[in-house]
Amino acid sequence: MLKVIKARIHQKNRTYPFPQKMPIMDPRYAGRPLIKPAKCRADCKKCVELCPTQAISKNNDKITIDLGHCIFCRDCEVMCPSSVISFSKEFSMGANSLSSLKVTDESYAKLEEMGAELKRLFGRSLKLRQVSAGGCNACEADCNVLTTPTFDMARFGITFVASPRHADGLLVTGPVTQNMKQALVKAYKALPAPAIVIATGACAISGGIFRDNFETNNGIGDLIPVDLYVPGCPPNPWTILDAMLRFMGAHK
């Protein structure tokens, strides 16, 4: 025990001072996409044709990227002959609605915090039951890492609990396989009211790369109500933490 204490003192504080200090993202990180409509050619639809999840649509000269479908593969950025689409280092991408996930230019809708009554109840403490509804374990891993010393989401009052009966809400990952559909609905019904639901990752939002597969449900939206959407494949841990803090009103 003394050796452990000595090693911990030597290591010092490993927790990143977020949100007082913004993290520097890896050069390979693909964050919020930026679209420059003025540079788009009317006769070009390469980005639409190659998108593996149909996240990109084009109406005349207007390109729209739906972050709820996007897996951030960057193929559109690489193949666009006019450099219309680029991916920034912006990790703050949480949204209150599906419409807010749609990007058409270089601006985006800011995430709004929860309502007054929910904030009174959960604004300083949020207990979540994490449900893996058939995910590949990438989103689950980036959620689990939030409990490590670097991120330490518990310092903000956010913790994962073992039962939905002890939770304020669900954090759901995965496209909802047929075998998990009933389990997810039962977990939601077991939550004490009022409760919140966080759809984390493209699969939970829209089905992701498994969309329209007969074994999946294209996300959770038609099964249980969603209060917060966190896009990505998988979402970066900072994206998840940032979205939860903004939703709680703990980070502006």
Handedness of CA 201, 215, 221, 69 (dihedral sign): positive
Alpha-carbon distance 202 to 210, whole Å? 10
pLDDT above 80: residue 229: yes
**Residues 148-159 pLDDT 10s:** 999 999 999 999
CATH class name, domain 116-248: alpha beta
pTM of the model: 0.93
Partners of 56 in the beta sheet? Answer: 65
Each residue's pLDDT tens digit, 74-105: 999 999 988 999 999 999 999 999 999 999 99
With 70 as the cut, is the pLDDT of residue 8 above it? no
Domain map of the chain by residue range?
116-248
Measure the CA–CA gap between 68 and 91, rounded to whole angstroms. Answer: 15
Q: Say how far residue 242 (Cα) sits from the centre of its chain.
A: 9
